[in-house]
Amino acid sequence: MKSTFDIELNTLYIGERRRVATVGLHGKDEADRFIQKLIQTDPAKWAGIATRIKTISNYDRYENQSTYRSVGDGIFEFKRNGIRLYSFYDEIDGELQMILCTNGGGKGNKKEQQADIQKAKQVRKRYFELKARPDTHFRLNKDPIL
């Protein structure tokens, strides 16, 4: 069933400094789908990403090349052996600055990683386009899953 919201954010975790959420646009939430599949197929890798999410959300600014880093154009990646979860920053209604997860993928080869990064950039661009429109229906689900 298609969502009635143009933008729907689903909270993963609320840290001391940031809320981390997945981004759903027009009922499609690639990051949530990736996370749910990861939870089912490789709980240990999910636990590693969840730990990174919890740690990073407690800092105003965090970057560590081995766990969380910029990949350009406002996109960052949570890193765990063999997997990536892509994200960007935003602030909503003066609330804690948010880390919004767009999509994920395996480490794979360079071509696959670049495709995942491009997808994250597209989600980010579309998110900000929709957010700027006065007729956009927006929802923030505040109950964290972690």
pLDDT digits (tens, 9 = 90+) for 115-133: 999 999 999 999 999 999 9
Give the pLDDT confidence of 1-39 residue by residue, as tens digits: 455 689 999 999 999 999 999 999 999 999 999 999 999
pTM equals 0.92
Q: Which of 23, 27, 37 is nearest to 121 (CA)?
A: 23
Of 123, 138, 132, which is closest to residue 5 (Cα–Cα)?
Answer: 138
Assigned token pair, 53: 């999410």
Question: Backbone dihedral region of 108: left (phi > 0), alpha (psi from -120 to 50 degrees) or beta?
Answer: left
Q: Hey, where are the domains in the chain? A: 8-133
pLDDT at residue 2, as a whole number: 54
Q: Which CATH architecture has domain 8-133?
A: 2-Layer Sandwich (3.30)
CA distance 51 to 144: 14
Q: What is the rounded average pLDDT for all residues in the chain?
A: 90
The predicted structure's pLDDT at residue 1: 43
